[in-house]
Amino acid sequence: MATGQRVALAGMIVSGLLAVIKITTGLMGHSSAVVADGIESAGDVLSSGVVLLALTVAAKPADSEHPYGHGRAETLAGFSLGFMLVITGLVISVSALRRVDAVGPSPEAYVIWPLIGSVVMKSTLAGVKFHYGRKIGSSALMADAWNDAVDILSALSALAAVSLAILVPHHIPAADQWGAFAVGVIVVFTGLRVARDGAMHLMDTMPDSATISMIRSVAVTVPGVRGVEKCFARKTGLQYHVDLHLEVDPEITVRRSHDIATQVRIVIKETLPWVADVLVHVEPAP
């Protein structure tokens, strides 16, 4: 199993355990904020499952119907994950607002321990996902890492709300419910960010100028290259596909210009492992 898939599977296991512990503890300890955080963790199980499936599909080789490979499945998963987060956050927030005026017992003190454990475990998990997400260029794994980062914020928000509800129950009687509402709002805004990043890749948004400059720099190292007129790149999953307009001596033969173009394609792919393929168009140098 590939590294990204192992990380996603580990995320599913950790999130599943946290969800069971927090929901059970929250229900027994009369804490809406802890239950809301547990529901968010339960959603993480589904999120990591989507990422795992997407990475499996994205690893499939190119075929006649998908000449650019199946990498867009990974980008699509990140985009979908963003919307899943938005819906989860809205459900949590609306449910919390409906219970603001409800009178209930104060949360038990022991409900803070699953929240503390969640902060520690999710911090570790988010760090691992961010590291490998950047390393393999996975939009879905990065989205899942942001999801875990949200869990840290939501757990801290729930922890603050529960602490207020326990310490000063008569001054802020709805602190626990407002904590659950805060958890939902954080989840919504993170989901919007994740969905936006996925949409940018699906719309073939160009990478940053430093990435394009790197491709140009490698291309001009090949003997016979006079310059690079145009350079476009689009992300198709874990890698980029590059379109390059190469300038060569207008007096050389077609065969020679073709050999230069082929060498440029080979050198770029060997030097920049995040480039899946290069389509080279030859232009006469001015």
Does residue 248 have a pLDDT over 80? yes
Q: What is the mean pLDDT of the chain?
A: 81
What is the band of 273 on the pLDDT scale with cuts at 50, 70, 90? confident
> What number is the average pLDDT over the span 240-252?
91
Residues in the chain: 286
Residues 247 and 194 in one domain: no
pLDDT grade for 19, boundaries at 50, 70 and 90: confident
Query: Which of 202, 227, 247 is the last residue in one of the domains?
Result: 202
Please compute the mean of the pLDDT values over residues 200-206 and round it to a whole number: 77
What is the b/e burial string over 263-273, where b = at least 16 CB atoms within 10 angstroms of the residue's CB? bbbebbbeebe
In sequence order, the β-bridge partners of residue 232 are 243
Whether 33 and 86 share a structural domain: yes
Q: Summarize the confidence of residues 76-83 as an average pLDDT.
A: 79
Question: Within this chain, do residues 87 and 27 fall inside the same structural domain, yes or no?
Answer: yes
Buried b (16+ CB within 10 A) or exposed e, 30-57: bbbbbbbbbbbbbbbbebbbbbbbbbbb
- Same domain as 13, residue 117: yes
Last residue of a domain, one of 202, 232, 252: 202
- Please tell me the pTM assigned to this model: 0.61
Final residue before a domain boundary, out of 173, 202, 231: 202
Residues 160 and 277 in one domain: no
Q: Which two tokens stand for residue 200?
A: 């940018």
Say if residues 107 and 29 touch (Cβ distance below 8 Å): yes
The residues with which 284 forms a beta bridge, in sequence order, are 248
Rounded Cα–Cα distance for residues 28 and 105 (Å): 11
pLDDT at 268: 94
259 shares a domain with 143: no
Q: What is the mean pLDDT of residues 64-86?
A: 78
pLDDT at 106: 67
User: Cβ distance 15 to 48 under 8 Å?
Assistant: yes
Q: Within this chain, do residues 218 and 279 fall inside the same structural domain, yes or no?
A: yes
Q: Are residues 71 and 105 in the same domain?
A: yes
- pLDDT at residue 43, rounded to an integer: 74
Do 120 and 250 belong to one domain?
Answer: no
Same-domain pairing of 253 and 275:
yes
3-28 and 32-58 helices, crossing angle to 10°: 160
Rounded CA gap, 26 and 152, in Å?
Answer: 17
Q: Give the domain range for residue 151.
A: 3-202
Which of 26-40, 128-142, 272-286 holds the top average pLDDT?
272-286
Amino acid at 107: P
Same domain, 80 and 171: yes
Give tens-digit pLDDT for 141-192. Answer: 777 787 788 778 777 877 777 777 777 666 555 666 676 777 778 778 878 8
Q: Which amino acid is at 229?
A: E
Strands 225-236 and 275-284, how do they pair?
unpaired
Instruction: Please count the structural domains in the chain.
Output: 2
- Helix 72-98 to helix 32-58 angle (10° resolution) is 170
pLDDT given for residue 176 in this prediction: 63
Same domain, 184 and 46: yes
Q: CATH code at 132?
A: 1.20.1510.10
Note the pLDDT of residue 1.
Answer: 45
The CATH number of the domain where 225 resides is what?
A: 3.30.70.1350
Residue with the two structure tokens 């949200």: 150
Supply the Cα-derived Rg of the chain in whole angstroms: 25
